[in-house]
Amino acid sequence: MPPTILILCTGNSCRSHMAEGILRAAAGDLLDVQSAGSNPAGYVHPLAIKALAEIGIDISAHRSKHMNEFLLQDVETVITVCGNADQACPMFPGQMNRHHWGFDDPAHAIGSEEEQMAVFRRVRDEIRRVFEAYAAGRRDA
């Protein structure tokens, strides 16, 4: 079984799903990548789905989950991508590592859909740089 990496955010609607999709694509079967939220929004933001589709990653089947769904699973590494989730994060069984890499919340973008998409693309690209580098480091380890 590959180690489980849990990516947490407050709402589990944008950043954590983008990070999950990107890390899953970059790591392949090396890691079991999941995401959840401390206060899940109940949906995956359509612009997050669109932003990842632009780079060939399909997260349209993802669902918004509460972090408590993972409390009884072995989670090797927890990565928080927003400050609120970092503060609310419990310890998980088997957890050996914890990282906090904060990103702006694109769900708060205002303006036309194209202006909002520009924010989603920027955050997606920032997440992509960090999580692809993380995947490369895990492969090299």
Indicate which residue of 22, 31, 52, 89 is catalytic.
Answer: 89
14 part of the active site: no
Pairwise CA distance, residues 50 & 31, whole Å: 24
Sheet of 32-37: strands edge to edge? 32-37, 4-9, 77-80, 97-100
Tokens representing residue 6 in the block = 């849990």
Beta bridge partners of 8: 36, 80
Indicate which residue of 9, 47, 78, 107 is catalytic.
Answer: 9
82 part of the active site: yes
Indicate which residue of 82, 85, 109, 127 is catalytic.
Answer: 82
Residues with catalytic function: 9, 82, 89
